Amino acid sequence: MSGIPTTPAPFNEPVLEYAPGSLERAELKAELEAQASRIVDIPLVIGGEEIRTGDTFDVVMPHAHGHVIGRAHRAGPDEVDRAVAAAAAAHHEWSTMRWEDRIAVFLKVAELLAGPWRPKLNAATMLGQSKNVRQAEIDSACEIVDFFRFGAHFAEQLYSMQPLSDEGIWNRAEYRALEGFVYAVSPFNFTAIGANLPGTPAMMGNTVVWKPAHSAMLSNYYVMKLFEEAGLPPGVINMVAGDAVAITGRLLSQPSFAGLHFTGSTDVFDSFWKTIGENMGTYRTYPRIVGETGGKDFIAVHPSADPAAVKTAILRGAFEYQGQKCSAASRAYIPASMWKELEGPLVEETAALTMGDVRDFTNFVNAVIDERAFAKIRKYIEDARDSDDAEILVGGECDDSKGWFVRPTIIRAKRPDYISMCDEIFGPVMTVYVYEDDRWEETLELVDSTSPYALTGAVFARDRRVIRHAVDRLAQAAGNFYINDKPTGAVVGQQPFGGSRASGTNDKAGSMMNLLRWVSARSIKENFVSPVDYRYPFLDEA
C-alpha cells in the first residue's frame, strides 16, 4: 500500500505533419466533416451534471460565420452559486486524495489526447477558432499533452521539496490545496490555455469554477468531456458560460474565492484585480492572483543579421493564427541598409500568403475570431491608410461577407511612436519602423519604452557582442526573449511562458513556478523527545 511513486519521465508530444496520404490527415478530415455537419448542444457542467438553462448563444465558424456548430447554454446567478457549492462539496475528498491519484487523472488526459481524442479536439479548435491544422495541432493536441506530462513531473518535484530536520526532530512540508475555490478564466485563442487554467490548479488538489471564452466553447466543452473521460470526479472542475461580467461579479464576491487563474487582455485583468481589492474584507484567505495578459511583441534587427531569417520570423511570427497570439510579433525595427533588400521579398511573400477556410489545408491563414475583433483590426488599418505618419505596404483588405477575413498587413510607420507600434491590435498586422544603421542604441531604447507590455521579443544579429548587449539592455522588455528566432511558439518544459509589466504576473505557465501558486504550504515539526523542563542552562547561577 505504501510507496513513494515517481512520475513517468516527461517528453514533448511530437507534432504530427498531416502530409497528404497520412493516416492522421484522413482521420482529421473525416472528423472535420462530421463536426461541421452537426450543432452541438453545449451545457454547463456543474458537479458532474450537464445543465441546460435554455438561454443559449450560437457558436459559429469564424471563416463561415453563417455556419452554426454549437449552441451554448448561459449560466444565471443560480447556476453560478451551484458551481461554487459543487466546488466546495468536492473539495475535501479531492484535496486529500493521494497525489498520485490526482496526477494520474491528468496523465490520462495527456495520453487520451495524444491518441484517440486528438482528431476531436483538433477539429473543434480548427472549426470553432479558425486555426489551420498545424496551429491546432501545436495547441489543442501537443500543448495540452505537454502541460499535463510536465505538470505531473513538476508536481512530483514540488512535493519532494522538503526541509532539513535537526537532531531528534522531523520537519515536513505539506503542500495543501488553497482553502476555497479557484476561478479560471480563459481566452479564445488557445484551447491549451482553456485546459491548463482549470487543470493545473485541479492537479494540485484545488477545486475550480471555469469560465471559458464564448468563442472557444466547442473545443473547451470537449476539454471538459476529456477531463471526465479521464476520471476527474464530479465537482472538481465546474464549467460555466454566459455573461462574463455578471458571472465574475458573483464569483469574486464569494468568501470562498481563493485564487484567480486568468489569461486574457490587460484591461480585463486590471478590472478583476480592482474588484478583488474592493472585496478584500469578504474573503477567508488572501487570494492568489495569476494573470497572463497582452503583448506588443518586437523583432529588433541589427545590421549584422541574416535578412532571410528576419523575413521568415516576420512572416511566421506576425501572421500565423492571424496574429492572434499574445506572443505574435507586431512591431519590427529594421536597419535602413537591410530594408532596401528586405522590403521587396517581404511584401511579395506576404501578398502571396493563402487565406481561407480551415478545411482547405492549403490555406496558411484563416479568419479572425469574431465581428468585434474584425472591426477593431479594420479601424487600425483605416487609421494607417488615412495617416501621414504611416503607409500600408501590403494587405489591408478586410472582407466580412462570408467570414471575418483580414489580409496579412504590413504598415510602415514613419514615427516610432505611431499608434500601431504601441497598441496591441491582436490581428494580422505588422508595423515596421526603419531606423538609420548608426542608431542601434537609440533603437534598443525605443524597443524597451514604446509599449507598456513586456511579453515576448526577438533580437536578430550575427555579431556576438551585439547579442550580449541587447540581452542585457532589454532585460525587462520581455519575459520570453528570443535570439535569432521568431518570438512565438513557446514549448512547455523548454521555454516557460509569461511576461511582466502590463503583460501579467509572469508566473510562467507550464512550469513549477505556476504550480507553486496553487498550493499553500504547511510546515510540520515533530519533536521525538519533547522537553520536560522549561529552564535553559543560562538561567543557572555561575
In contact, 512 and 157? CB cutoff 8 Å? yes
With CB under 6 A as the contact rule, which of the stretches 13-21, 167-175, 263-271, 409-417 interacts with ligand NAD?
263-271
C-alpha cell, 393: 505596404
Q: Decide if residue 293 touches ligand NAD (CB under 6 A).
A: yes
With CB under 6 A as the contact rule, which of the stretches 167-175, 257-265, 314-322, 393-401 interacts with ligand NAD?
257-265
CB of 244 to ligand NAD, least distance (A): 3
Q: Decide if residue 211 touches ligand NAD (CB under 6 A).
A: yes
Q: Decide if residue 206 touches ligand NAD (CB under 6 A).
A: no
Task: Give the active site residue among 13, 79, 156, 292.
Answer: 292
CB of 506 to ligand NAD, least distance (A): 9
At 453, which amino acid appears? Y
Residue (130 or 520) nearer to ligand NAD, CB: 130
CB of 457 to ligand NAD, least distance (A): 13
Query: Which member of 182, 268, 459, 515 binds ligand NAD (CB under 6 A)?
Result: 268
3-class secondary-structure state, position 260:
strand
Instruction: Give the x-and-dash track for 50-89 against ligand NAD (CB under 6 A).
Output: ----------------------------------------
CB of 377 to ligand NAD, least distance (A): 12
Residue (12 or 500) nearer to ligand NAD, CB: 500
Q: DSSP string covering 10-57, please?
A: P-PPPPP---TT-HHHHHHHHHHHHHHT--EEE-EEETTEEE--S-EE
Q: State residue 458 phi and psi, 5-degree precision.
A: -135, 145
With CB under 6 A as the contact rule, which of the stretches 76-84, 207-215, 312-320, 333-341 interacts with ligand NAD?
207-215
C-alpha cell, 463: 555579431
With CB under 6 A as the contact rule, which of the stretches 105-113, 117-125, 244-252, 282-290 interacts with ligand NAD?
244-252
Q: Which residue is nearest to ligand NAD (CB)?
A: 264
Query: Which member of 155, 406, 455, 519 binds ligand NAD (CB under 6 A)?
Result: 455
Angle at 507 between CA 159 and CA 121, to 5 degrees: 85
C-alpha cell, 245: 461580467
With CB under 6 A as the contact rule, which of the stretches 4-12, 25-33, 208-216, 466-474 interacts with ligand NAD?
208-216
Task: Respond yes or no: is residue 398 known to be catalytic.
Answer: no
Count how many Cα atoms sit within 13 Å of the Cα of residue 345 in the half-sphere of its side chain. Answer: 13
Q: DSSP string covering 283-295, please?
A: -SSPPEEEEE---
Q: Decide if residue 140 touches ligand NAD (CB under 6 A).
A: no
Task: Give the active site residue among 143, 326, 343, 424.
Answer: 326
Task: Respond yes or no: is residue 326 known to be catalytic.
Answer: yes
With CB under 6 A as the contact rule, which of the stretches 7-15, 73-81, 225-233, 293-301 interacts with ligand NAD?
293-301
Query: Which member of 159, 188, 257, 374 binds ligand NAD (CB under 6 A)?
Result: 188
Q: Which residue has the cell 477531463?
A: 227
Burial of 374 (0-12, 13-18, 19+ CB in 10 A): buried
Residue (155 or 509) nearer to ligand NAD, CB: 509
Burial of 21 (0-12, 13-18, 19+ CB in 10 A): exposed
Q: Decide if residue 504 touches ligand NAD (CB under 6 A).
A: yes
Query: Which member of 68, 97, 244, 393 binds ligand NAD (CB under 6 A)?
Result: 244
Buried residues in 123-155 as b, exposed as e (16+ CB within 10 A): bbbbbbbbbbbbbbbbbbbbbbbbbbbbbbbbb
Q: State residue 427 phi and psi, 5-degree precision.
A: -160, -175
Q: Decide if residue 135 touches ligand NAD (CB under 6 A).
A: no
Return the HEC string of 95-132: HHCCHHHHHHHHHHHHHHHHCCCHHHHHHHHHHHHCCC
CB of 178 to ligand NAD, least distance (A): 21
Query: Which member of 186, 256, 363, 514 binds ligand NAD (CB under 6 A)?
Result: 186
What is the rounded distance in angstroms from the CA atom of residue 84 to the CA atom of residue 284? 15
Please name which of 380, 385, 427 lies closest in space to residue 406, comparing C-alpha atoms. Answer: 427
Residue (135 or 503) nearer to ligand NAD, CB: 503
Residue (276 or 461) nearer to ligand NAD, CB: 276
Q: Which residue has the cell 505588422?
A: 430
What is the rounded distance in angstroms from the CA atom of residue 396 to the CA atom of residue 328? 18
Q: Decide if residue 128 touches ligand NAD (CB under 6 A).
A: no
What is the rounded distance in angstroms from the CA atom of residue 541 to the CA atom of residue 4? 51
Residues labelled catalytic: 292, 326
Q: Footprint of ligand NAD on this chain (CB under 6 A)?
A: 185-190, 193, 211, 213-214, 244-245, 248, 263-265, 268, 271, 292-295, 326, 424, 426, 455, 497, 503-504
